[in-house]
Amino acid sequence: MDVSADLHELARCPVGLVSAGVKSILDIGRTLEYLETLGVPVVSYGESKDFPAFYTRQSGHQAPWNVTDPAQAAGILYTHWQLGMTNGALFAVPIPEKYEAAGASIQRTVELAVRESEELGISKSGKEVTPWLLNRVRELTKGGSLDSNVALIQNTALVGGKIAVEFVKLAQEGKQDLKRLYLGIKQQPALSSCMDQVTERLSHLDRNVEAIQQNKASIVVVGCAAVDITSKVEQGSVVSSKTTHPGILSLTLGGVGRNIAEAAHRILSGFKEHSNSTLLLAPVGEDIFGKLIVDLTRSTGMRTDGLRSVPGMRSAVCNLFLDAQGGLQNGVADMDLPQLWQGTDVIPILQHHQPQFLVLDGNLSTEMMTAFVKEVAKSDIQIFFEPTSVAKSTRIFPAIAANFGHSLDSVISYASPNLLELRHMYEEARNTFDLMSHDHWWKVVNGFALEPKFRIALDHLAKKAVSEENTNLGDLAFLVDKGVIQMAINLLPFFQHLVIKCGELGVVIVMRLKNADASAWLSKQNDPQGRHVIAYSQASVSTIVVQHFPPLHSSPSASENTTGVGDSLVGALLAMLVQKPNAFLDPATLKSVVDVSQEAAIMTLQSSHAVSPLLSSLSVGLIPGKTSLPPA
């Protein structure tokens, strides 16, 4: 007698088990009868009650019930939970039809193996029978059962995931439904006590959710949460005006602040102590798009307690038109809400959380950013500024001007411009805002004590290839010829660390460290071959470090979507800095941090989403004892 322990486990654990039925090497009829004895519901997933037998869609046995979609299956599990049942339920999902023919062939092999086991007397060996039969089937099919096995795993995982999504929807909507049900039967004494217990269960769940959302955040992102409606033309289409084009339309969440928050959340979700430590503070309108932003944000597992409904306003919506390669051609952006938002409750939230990082999205108004920078100046919170676009990249300068000169430290800890934004920020700081004629700016820059050998080392760095793997990308001459390093150094009195996104040319970091914090870098000296140049002298109070990180060798030649790539890089960088706060002080640690950030950007480049859901896999390799998953 060999009765699997998982049958009894199903009788005492309130779970939904999704499987491909029962292997035909077992006694399916008796298994179903035993599950009935144990009180475990067995439900076939499909149009009929035919119970599947792993490799085949029909076993010749019938299940008592069947469901045809994930919502019905989730309804069964949700009702179990509402009633406080302690048993599980089995959902039997047949093998996909395209594998049915192969499954029939494997089934004949199974029957042959069963006959052999009977002839050899192995069928009387109790629990040793099953492994013998499975091994014999592999031998007889010469490994041909592998594709079907993989198909079964993928199919059951897909169905299970869909049921889980529907269950979450029911759990979120259940409180209102339960309230209406409660009012209808409260007068019936027999049911009233039961409903009181269920109501208490829901209240307990709500308290748990509220407790999670009140956890102190390590990263607070203030900015834009938007709906992206993306139109991508079909490969080979000739794009012209005043006509429609064949292609694919999709609706996803976007907004620079929201993208950064999701990227950081997905990577930190693998760390128990930081699983809810990213808080997005963003306005949403009182419209269908606002509800969509809240619902979809919740579905990713992110916190929603920072989403603020603004009466009478439209939610931020961006309609993007992409070419067949995923490049942005044009679009319409209805993005007034983030700039019009007053954000009066943001400062109390910052005071409550005291996060490690405050991230400011360039979509915010200059007034809001000025107020936030002034508030944070009193604390140890580090400000990370994401310029967002060339036009919005200078909105931070009034906040800098209002707080500049109070100390030798930079006003903003981090900024992440691309090459176009960097040039615009430099020119506007120099001309329009006239920040570089400030006495304090001269004092700080003069304190760098840059010597001729620094320029010589930069010239050597400029001769280095962008990538050792891809020589078509040329060399790093653009860093000097286009004044990238010069502009960055001139901005260091305002921004302590500049993370310059150079697209396919990699990432350049120009940073300003206190001499006492720069020992790990100073031990390296200038090393153009190692792609870093250091400016240090005993006369200075700061050490300037320039480091180029080449594009990862896995960078793809084709892209699915470019709109959230930079945001994913920034979100991943923030997540890594939460784990490694002193990463910028150590060359090896900084490389590992930037590698993960670039990997995140590549994943999003290959995804149709503004932030690739696969970013969650990156945390696996960062947790001791776990193996990193390769990008899809």
Condensed to tens digits (0 to 9), the pLDDT of residues 594-614 reads 999 999 999 999 887 889 989
Of the candidates 67, 6, 61, the residue with the CA atom closest to the CA atom of residue 38:
6
| Cβ contact 426:490 at 8 Å | yes
| Residue 150 sits in the same domain as residue 24 | yes
What CATH number is attached to the domain comprising 604?
Answer: 3.40.1190.20
Q: What is the pLDDT of residue 628?
A: 42
Q: Is 555 domain-assigned? A: no
| Residue 167 sits in the same domain as residue 228 | no
pLDDT digits (tens, 9 = 90+) for 319-333: 888 888 777 788 888
pLDDT digits (tens, 9 = 90+) for 280-334: 999 999 999 999 999 999 988 899 999 999 988 999 998 888 888 777 788 888 8
User: To the nearest whole number, what is the mean pLDDT of the chain?
Assistant: 85
Q: Is 87 domain-assigned? A: yes
| Residue 398 sits in the same domain as residue 350 | no
Q: What is the pLDDT of residue 497?
A: 98
Of the candidates 59, 67, 56, the residue with the CA atom closest to the CA atom of residue 27:
59
| Residue 350 sits in the same domain as residue 379 | no
Q: What is the pLDDT of residue 496?
A: 96
Q: What is the pLDDT of residue 136?
A: 82
Longest Cα pair distance anywhere in the chain, in angstroms?
Answer: 97
- Return the residue matching tokens 């991508």: 232
Which of residues 241 and 183 earns the better pLDDT score? 241
| Residue 480 sits in the same domain as residue 525 | yes
What CATH number is attached to the domain comprising 137?
Answer: 3.40.1790.10
Query: Predicted confidence band at 1 (pLDDT cuts at 50, 70, 90)?
Result: low
Query: Residue 626 belongs to what domain range?
Result: 216-356+560-632
| Residue 155 sits in the same domain as residue 286 | no
| Residue 445 sits in the same domain as residue 323 | no
Of the candidates 447, 411, 446, the residue with the CA atom closest to the CA atom of residue 429:
411
Q: Distance between CA 328 and CA 608 in Å, rounded?
A: 13
Token reading at 537: 């002298």
Q: Give the whole-number percent of the chain exceeding pLDDT 70.
A: 88
pLDDT at 19 over 80: yes
| Residue 329 sits in the same domain as residue 449 | no
> Cα–Cα distances in Å, from 196 out to 23, 56, 81, 200, 444?
43, 46, 14, 6, 67
| Residue 37 sits in the same domain as residue 184 | yes
| Cβ contact 498:486 at 8 Å | no
| Residue 161 sits in the same domain as residue 62 | yes
Question: CB within 8 A of 183, min separation 6: which ones?
Answer: none
Q: Is 375 domain-assigned? A: yes
| Residue 494 sits in the same domain as residue 583 | no
| Residue 80 sits in the same domain as residue 119 | yes
| Cβ contact 259:278 at 8 Å | no
Q: Is 554 domain-assigned? A: no
Residue that is last in its domain, among 149, 177, 210: 210
Q: How many domains does the chain have?
A: 3
Strand order in the sheet with 542-549: 307-310, 278-285, 219-222, 357-361, 382-386, 412-415, 495-501, 507-514, 542-549, 532-535
pLDDT at 235 over 90: no
Query: Predicted confidence band at 212 (pLDDT cuts at 50, 70, 90)?
Result: very low
Query: Predicted confidence band at 381 (pLDDT cuts at 50, 70, 90)?
Result: very high
Q: What is the pLDDT of residue 209?
A: 44
| Cβ contact 384:358 at 8 Å | yes
